[in-house]
Structure 1
C-alpha cells in the first residue's frame, strides 16, 4: 500500500499544570478554553501513564497511529528499525509551553523502567527552545533547572520529598537561562524543571513516566507522584551525582546562529535515544527514507515524495512521515522545520543504558 506523509491535528491531553498560548499561536488557532492542556503530543503512539488511550495521535482516517503502525510496522518504520525495536517508533515528540513552573521531577532510565514498570523505554528527553515569554512581567528571566549542582545523598533527597521542601530542591538545581535556539539534553534520572514561559519542542523516548519529587500544589497527593511504586522504590531512579555548571554545559547547545541547511540539535550523546535536526531547506533539501516527525516553525514550503506526492507545509504544521514514503525533498525559501527521528538501529541503541542503572 502506498504510504504518504500525513499532516496531523493538535493532540493535547489534559495535564496537571497550566500552559500558555504559544501552541495555539504556532498552529495559528484560537486558544482553547482549558488552560490545562500545555502539551501537544505529535504523532504519539504513547498513552498517558495509566490512562490509555489518552495521548494517542489519530490519523485522518480515524485510526490511531499506534494501530496503523501495528498493522504495517515495516511500512511505517522500515525493516531495520522493526528488527531492532519491533512495531514501536521508539520516539515521542511534544510541543510544550509552560504557563507555570513545572515541579521538580525526574524520569526512570531503561534499566529501572524494565525492572519495575515492565517497560522497554525509560525517558531520556531533550528540549529545543522555540521561544520564551521573556518580554512579560511574569517571566522576565526564562529559566530551566537541571541536575543537582553539588550532588545530594539519598537521605537528603528523601527529606526534600517527605517535607515537600520546594525551596530546597529548586535551590539545589542549576538554573539555566534559555533563549530561542538553545537545546538541552536531559538524561534519565536528572532532577529538572521547566520554568514558566518556556516553549519547547520536547523530543524523548516513547514513555510517559515521571517521578515527582515536588508534588504539593501540583497533584492531589503523593500517591499520584511515584508511578505507583512508592517513594522507597521510585527515588532509586534519581541521579544523585554532582552536576556542576561545567558538567551541565555538556548538555547545552546554542544553535540560533547556525543557518546551515541541516543543524544537528543534540549531538552524539542523544543518538542512542533519538535524533533531531533543524532544517533550512531553501531551494531543495533531499531526505533519505526514514520514519520522522516534522514540526514547521516558520515560513511555508512543500514536502515532495519520489512518487510526486506533495504536502504543503506552513508555520505550525506537524507531519508524520512513514519510512515507505521513500526519499523526500523539502523545499521552502523561508521554511524552517525541526525533524525528529528514532535512534538508529544498531549496537549504540541496544546498549543505551549499559553504563546507566538505578541507584546512581
Structure 2
C-alpha cells in the first residue's frame, strides 16, 4: 500500500462525456490513444452526477483516493482543513479539452445546492488556459445585458441556441489567461480551448442548451425540472473584465492566478522553478506544464499530474519546472 505521507503521481482518469475532445490531453500526457475523452478528472473524490464510481481517481495501490482520504483525513488534508471541511477535499481539478463548443450551461450556488440537492457545495469554477487551437479560441461568459426570467425560460423551452449564445460575452483567450466563473453565471467553452479547471467538488450542471448535446431535456435539469432549476441562473449582466485575468507575462516564482473572489472556493498558482523550491505543507493537486524535475520523490515532466497530501510536509521541487498548483480554499475564507 502506498504511503499517505508522500506525493503520488496519478494516471489519466477520463470518464465518458457527451462532447468531443481529448487530443490535447493525449498530447499533453504523451498518450498513444487520443480518444479517451475530453475530461481528465485529477485527484478526484467526486463522482459524475448520478453515478456510483465514475469520475473517482484511483491511487497506484488500487484504492480510491476518496476512500484513502476518508480513512485518514488529517494526513491527507491537515487538521485545520478537517476542522473546517471534514473529510472533504473541497476541490475538484480537471484537464478539459474542448474538441467542440460546449453548450450554454451554468451551475448552482452553495445555497441552491444545499436547499434542493442536499449538498453543501454548489459549483463555482475557474479555468486556467494552457493551450489553444484554431483561429479564434473563445469562451462565452455571462450575459451582456440583464435578461428577464421569462426570456431565459423561453430560450430554454424553444431551445433557441443562437439567442442563448448571442446573449453571452465572447472572450478571446490564449495560454496564461484565467477565467473565474461564479455559480449561476451562464457560460460555454469554445472549440479549441484546453484548460486546467478548478471547481467545487460536484458534478451539478444546468444545461440550458441541451438540444444537439444531451439525449433529451431530462438530462439537463438535475432531476428538478426546468421550472425550478432556472432559479439558479444569474440573469444580471456580467463584465468579463471582472472575471478574466491575463497572466502569461507574469513569471515570478509563484504567480497567483485568481483574485480574492476565488478564495472561498479554491486557490491556484503557477510555479516557476529553476533549481530548487520548498513548498509549504498543504493538500495540493499539481499539473506540470513545462520542463522536468522532481516533486518530492516523484519524477515529473510535462503532462505529469501529482496529488500531495498535507502530511508530506515541506515538499521540495527540483529542476526546471512550470506547474499549476491547485489547492482547496483556506479555512479562514469560510467566512468570506
TM-score for the superposition, normalised by structure 1? 0.91
- Alpha-carbon distance between aligned partners in 2 of 1:142 and 1:303, rounded to the nearest angstrom: 32
Residues 157-190 of structure 1 deviation map (CA, whole Å, 9 limit, x = unaligned): 0000000000000000000000010000000000
Corresponding pairs, count:
334
Distance 1:83 1:112 in 2: 24
The match for 2:270 among 252, 268, 278 is: 278
Unaligned runs of 5+ in 2: none
Is the CA contact (8 Å cut-off) linking 2:255 and 2:269 kept in structure 1? yes
Alpha carbon RMSD of aligned pairs, Å?
1.0
Q: Which runs of 4+ in 1 moved over 6 A?
A: none
| 1:311, distance to aligned residue in structure 2 (A) | 1.2
Question: Distance in 2 between the 1:2 and 1:278 partners?
Answer: 25
How far did residue 281 of structure 1 move? 1.2
Which residue does the alignment assign to 2:149?
Answer: 154
SS at match of 1:300: strand
Q: Which residue of 2 aligns with 1:358?
A: none
Deviations along 1:197-256, whole A, 9 cap, x unmatched? 00000001111100000000101110110000000110000001012xxx2201111111
Instruction: Give the whole-Å Cα distance in 2 for the aligned partners of 1:2 and 1:27.
Output: 24
Q: 2:211 aligned with 1:211, yes or no?
A: no
**Which deviations, in whole Å up to 9, do the C-alpha atoms of 1:14-47 show, x marking residues without a partner?**
001111410010101112445xx10000000000
CA distance in 2, matches of 1:32, 1:20: 6
2:66 matched to which residue of 1?
A: 66
TM superposition shift of 1:267: 1.7
Partner in structure 2 of residue 28 of structure 1: 30
CA distance in 2, matches of 1:250, 1:163: 31
Q: Which residue of 1 aligns with 2:105?
A: 105
Q: Secondary structure at the match of 1:161?
A: helix
Aligned to 1:337: 323
Residue 18 (1) aligns with residue 23 (2): no
The reply to whether residue 142 of structure 1 matches residue 137 of structure 2 is: yes
Describe the shift of the 1:2–1:154 C-alpha distance in structure 2 as closer, same or farther (beyond 3 A). Answer: closer
Provide closer, same or farther for how the CA distance between residues 8 and 2 of structure 1 changes in structure 2, counting only shifts above 3 A.
closer
Report the alpha carbon displacement of residue 2 of structure 1 after superposing the two structures with TM: 5.9
CA distance in 1, matches of 2:28, 2:144: 34
Q: TM-score normalised to the size of structure 2?
A: 0.98
CA shift for structure 1 position 52 = 1.8
Q: Secondary structure at the match of 2:67?
A: helix
Question: Match of 2:79?
Answer: 79
Specify the SS of the correspondent of 1:14. coil
Instruction: Find 2:187's aligned residue among 179, 183, 192.
Output: 192
Secondary structure of 2:331's aligned partner: coil
Where 2:210 maps in the other structure, the secondary structure is coil
Q: Which runs of 5+ in 1 are unaligned?
A: 135-139, 305-309, 353-360
Tell me if the contact between 1:20 and 1:197 (Cα under 8 Å) persists in the aligned partners: no
Residue 275 of structure 2 corresponds to residue 295 of structure 1: no
Q: Which residue of 2 aligns with 1:231?
A: 226
Q: Is the 8 A contact 1:278 1:339 kept in 2?
A: yes
SS at match of 2:48: coil
Contact 1:143 1:178 (C-alpha < 8 Å) held by counterparts: yes
CA drift of 1:259 comes to 1.1
Correspondence 1:248 to 2:240: yes
Name the counterpart of 2:164.
Answer: 169
